[in-house]
Amino acid sequence: MIRSIQTSVITENIKEMCIQANHYLSKDMDAAMKNAVFTEKSELGKKILNQLQENLKIADEEMIPICQDTGMAIIFMEIGQDVHFEGENIEDAINEGVRQGYTEGFLRKSVVKDPIIRENTKDNTPAIIHYSIVPGNKVKITFAPKGFGSENMSRVFMLKPADGIEGVKNAILTAVADAGPNACPPMVVGVGVGGDFEKAAIMAKQALTRNVDEHSNIPYVCELEKEMLEKINRLGIGPGGLGGTTTALAVNINTYPTHIAGLPVAINICCHVNRHVVRVI
């Protein structure tokens, strides 16, 4: 049945999600960060992980953003095909939510209007919005503000089919090793395998929004996620990149059909402030 949703409701929700995501870590990330304190072997690594625990506590209690890079606003909109939006156009409504959230929430405005001229837009808009049309009459919003320390360390590899799964593994390890301390480890590694150039990258970003305690439901991908996490944690990079056994908290891999001639692999790296908030309206 067709359902009408006022776009002002979307604005209000996005605004709240901006503030929520930047002050409180999601439960899955919080648990992974707490667990890392116990499993880390390096003394300095443990000290850093304890500082990060203290940081989360201060962010929560005193409403100071977890990280000063409160990110570019990345939003996945899964819109039920039986939804009818009323009010101003949906894109403007989303950006208005970002504008209000970043201004009223004392969040940093980190967006420049033009990549070369580089004048700050002063309200953190525009957001980067990925729409998909899904069955039903609800709207699922995933808000995942992304810091660029880790974003800058992300990679796309256009592998050959002959490279196979070993090629995928090498690509992931290369990206993580190159990222090292720059990506604020312990990191979360989002991987997209298959599709085409941009599909792989979007899958990698979306993989970061999957809870870190959940695995792929494809058996070989699930195994690959576990194997890569173990291998990454043997690189020695550690918390803050200062040596240790906790380099990543999770490797989340998404896949999609691809062309007979290709094997695209995208690796989107996120720091330990892997923010993702989901609401269904």
Partner 1 sequence: MDKYIHTPITEEITADLKSGDYVYITGTIYVARDAAHKRMMEALEKGEKLPIDIKDSTIYYMGPSPAREGRPIGSAGPTTASRMDKYAPTLLDLGEKAMIGKGKRTKEVMDAVVRNKAVYFAAVGGAGALLSKCITKSEIVCYEDLGAEAIRKIEVENFPAIVVIDCEGNNLYETAIREYCMK
Binding-site ranges for partner 1 (CB under 8 A): 41-42, 44, 47-48, 51-52, 54-56, 58-59, 62-70, 106-110, 118, 120, 122, 147, 149, 152, 180-182, 184, 234-238, 240-245, 271-273
Give whichever of 108 and 140 is closer to partner 1, judged by the CB atom.
108
Task: Decide if 252 contacts 208 (C-beta within 8 A).
Answer: yes
Output 25 or 93, the one with its CB closest to partner 1.
25
Q: CB of residue 214 vs partner 1: minimum separation in angstroms?
A: 23
CB atoms within 10 A of CB 196: 13
- Left if phi > 0, otherwise alpha if psi is -120 to 50, otherwise beta: which for 63? left
Residue 270 CB, nearest distance to partner 1 (Å)?
10
Shortest distance in whole angstroms from residue 171 CB to partner 1: 16
The nearer residue to partner 1, 171 or 203, going by C-beta atoms, is 171
Q: State how far the Cα of 122 lies from the Cα of 103, in Å rounded to an integer.
A: 9
* Residue whose CB is less far from partner 1, 108 or 279: 108
Token digits of residue 44: 């300095």
Place of tokens 């001229």: 117
Min dist CB 74 to partner 1, Å, is 17
Nearest to 149 by CA among 279, 66, 270, 46: 270
For partner 1, the closer CB: 63 or 134? 63
276 near 143, Cβ under 8 Å? yes
The residue (of 200 and 271) whose beta carbon lies closer to partner 1 is: 271
The least CB distance from residue 22 to partner 1, in Å, is 8
CB atoms within 10 A of CB 209: 21
Least distance to partner 1 from the beta carbon of 200, Å?
24
CB of 225 to partner 1, least distance (A): 19
Q: Nearest distance from residue 239's CB to partner 1, in Å?
A: 8
Nearer to partner 1, 40 or 264 (CB): 40
Closest CA relative to residue 200, chosen from 147, 253, 248, 150: 253
User: Closer to partner 1 at the Cβ: 55 or 211?
Assistant: 55
Closest to 40 measured CA to CA, from 277, 272, 275: 272
